[in-house]
Amino acid sequence: MSTIPSLSSLPSNPKVISPTTLAHVVLQTPQLEKMRHFYTTFLGGHVVHSAPFLVFITYDEEHHRIALLSQPHITAKAPSTAGLHHIAFTFPNLSALLTAYMQRKKHGIEPAWCVNHGPTSSIYYKDPDGNSIETQVDNFERVEDATEYMKGPAFEKNPIGVAFVPEEWIERLRNGESEEALMQRDDKDLERTLLEGDVIV
Ligand SMILES: [Fe+2]
């Protein structure tokens, strides 16, 4: 017996069931091979299935997280177009985030922007088509604390963040500073917004 309600049995303004997870992102690209190489390298992932016009990539238990759809005749992404701004991937801790940063660097993949947002410390990249990708670590152990921070005065004043230099953080970690201390955003000067030269990729 199905428990799916009939349309007439539903209230006029029902709360829709939320999904369990955000499953995957599909990107259309005019350069499939280059993007396949980039995403498998970038995510430490592998191809689950490929066809001449389609590639499915995963890096975890999901069957695919990124799919690439070959569209040879589409034009380059226009920054002025509405739509997706970036995709974000979470890492378990700061050391993992910075290790992945170093490994990507070894592959010649350099970041576009490194910023401590407050709730997360984030390293942004661009893929070969110009799509923005965020790699991040949660700065708070408990999501409730991150939410609290986002409701607080420091985030109200500066919801973008404070830039950081990964090599400086790596050095400080090697010198014994804790991840927690490094990830605590410097909110002493609430007037401060973006550092000179900062960009929102
Ligand atoms: Fe983000």
Ligand 1 centroid to residue 124 C-alpha, Å? 9
**Are 35 and 105 members of one domain?**
no
| Best CA proximity match to 41, nearest among 128, 129, 107, 88 | 107
**Are 133 and 174 members of one domain?**
yes
In a domain, 6, yes or no: no
pLDDT confidence of 199, banded at 50, 70, 90?
A: low
CA distance 79 to 201: 10
Ligand 1 centroid to residue 162 C-alpha, Å? 14
**Are 66 and 132 members of one domain?**
no
pTM greater than 0.85 (yes/no)? yes
What is the extent of the structural domain holding 181? 84-201
Ligand 1 centroid to residue 146 C-alpha, Å? 14
**Are 95 and 48 members of one domain?**
no
CB contact set of 15 (below 8 Å; sequence gap of 6+): none
Model confidence pLDDT, tens digit, residues 45-100? 999 999 999 999 999 999 999 999 999 999 988 888 899 999 999 999 999 999 99
**Are 44 and 107 members of one domain?**
no
In a domain, 156, yes or no: yes
